[in-house]
Chain A
């Protein structure tokens, strides 16, 4: 239309300009550093200060770690070899490796048994943790406690079979009568299991452990990180169902059940775990006749389970309280009875909300298992504080041992935490 237009038409680019990289300062690591590390003067100062501290820490620790010795036989020898140079004495870890993992009393030739139990644990836990796996695997999970018991403690094969039989008998009675009345089914199941165990227990000959194919290992001989893992796994898996029951009981409209649950939760939460452990190890011995003591491991499991169940109950109660009332009413209007409503509508939502809280309790509980060292059980920390630091060879090695313990616990706890985050993402059905 105009002259200018005609002039400009004389030079028209027909092809597009080749793409060019963004300017050096606006891409790649430089841009990242400018955005994240040196965005403002204050930011830059903080970055430099942090770098300085990281440098300080690394210069102090790296030579110590890299210069570490792994093959000496005592602290004195370490010092002799290092001859004044900075260096860790990791030899204590190699020399006492088995003691740190299994305790000092577990028979050496039987280490494969707890190791196998640990491997099988991952198999058994997989279908519970990752529900995309085939559901049939849950059968193995149900059998796992008995297999693990047999592997770790050994002894008569009849013992885990009687225990399993009792569970099956209880489950059978429960299935049979639960349709009529929940209470009848539940208590009938419990009584059936107890009767089965009692009768079965009497049928096992007294000397069965002596002649068993798998050498029996008494609970007192368990120790090391194995003990922490066993306590942690057992107590977490027992306390979640117990916690759910307590949380539901606390919301029950039946005053007796409600008050039993309230008193239990409030009492247990009001008492330090270490007190409960002392009760388990010291006081219970007074209540039982001397010749028939309940196994110390079992006593500790009961106490820790009660403790964490009280906390988990409160976490789940939070999840239940967060559900809108409409959910309960919807369940009622569908004609579901109480167990169905809970199982199909309420708990799946409440538990999903509670996951971070439950994981929080589980991680705390796992670390609390080290408290058993004060009642002279030799868990990982008990082994370090007692036998290893008290040996003439290794008296005085602190950083290496406690650092190793911290590392083991960190690996497990970080694993649990990562799993829970995955689970939350997987279950995220709300639209944020």
Chain B
């Protein structure tokens, strides 16, 4: 806290609404740090570790952008936001981008005036049931009690699903995921429903995870991705193509381990890798960055697949399978436009 800034703000606050902001890219470069909005804590997606370092799937996107723009994956000021404060923080300019498991919806994109730059995780609402219940499909859940977070889209999706399948259920409203977890374990409800990634993380924390199963039905589309403010297309391009660079790197087999050697000795037979890594063409210049931007992002965080495996993949306690989030070449939805 700087008193001069503080008092200056108090004095001029009433007088001026502030000069028109320069472009976000210029601001970030001048500031030397990226202000990135993240969750206050969601297993695997973003949380500080025991040393206070932010880690997680969404956090890696922030770090990759910082590496691309500023050359330092640690030049990020993480601004923790709750579900209620996230959009105002972005709209007011407190943060430059938001990477916080936010579902891309029509109204958020159009009405709230944000630009979703892509999708880094395709999620969907699923069901968690105890194995002892002997249910293998959500359509067999007639008459079940269901723990459901109030005020979320999952509540509406659930009603739609049960109505369209003409079966009944009894909702048990809960406020937070933690509460839902406890209620479910205490037997207050037969079924717990929320996003499938959340269910997997929840189940991983159980004492006996194998006593519970995720049902195969996914009843909603929840594409989660980073977003920026409307109206600054240079900046949204930077964030969009940093995410695309991570995705393309996996598709082309560029990893954090081999990116340095691939860039040092460009192979003329792999032009797209060369364009991605800036050893050919001038894609970085078009973005307003230097030629090595994607190289740094990949070197610091790894490609999309590495980020997935490190934070939420099958080797981690959360143990999410790639599923929809496999590369399009493997039957998934993860697809980046070409670097050309």
- Which residues of A pack against B, CB within 8 Å? 75-76, 79, 95-96, 99, 104-105, 153, 155, 159, 162-163, 197-198, 200-202, 204, 206, 209, 218-220, 278, 281-283, 285-295, 297-298, 374-376, 378, 382, 385-393, 395-396, 398
Contact = CB atoms under 8 A, between A and B. Distances in A.
Contacts of A387: 40-41, 47-48
Contacts of B93: 285, 290
A376 B81 contact: yes
A159 B85 CA distance: 31
Interface in B41-91: 41-44, 46-50, 52, 77, 79-82, 84-85, 88-89
Given A294-B9, A396-B205, A278 B1 contact: no
A129 to B, nearest CB: 28
B9 A285 contact: no
Contacts of B80: 376, 378, 386
Contacts of A291: 18
B205 A289 contact: no
A288 B39 CA distance: 24
A376 B10 contact: no
A97 to B, nearest CB: 10
B6 A295 contact: yes
Contacts of B4: 201-202, 204, 206
A204 to B, nearest CB: 5
22 contacts: A75-B205, A155-B1, A201-B7, A209-B2, A278-B84, A282-B88, A285-B89, A285-B94, A288-B18, A289-B9, A290-B21, A292-B8, A374-B82, A376-B81, A378-B40, A385-B40, A387-B41, A387-B48, A390-B46, A391-B43, A391-B47, A392-B204
Given A285-B92, A392-B317, A293 B9 contact: yes
Which of A298, A382, A396 is packed against the most chain B CB atoms within 10 Å?
Answer: A396
Contacts of B92: 282, 285-286, 290
B150 interface: no
| Nearest 5 pairs of A and B residues by beta carbon | A289-B18, A390-B41, A396-B205, A386-B41, A201-B4
Interface residues of B, number: 54
Interface string B167-200: 0000000001010011000000000000000000
Nearest to B312: A392
B259 interface: no
A391 B40 CA distance: 11
A292 B12 contact: yes
Nearest to A291: B18
Nearest to A285: B92
B264 interface: no
A285 B88 CA distance: 9
Contact of A389 (B2, B41, B49): B41
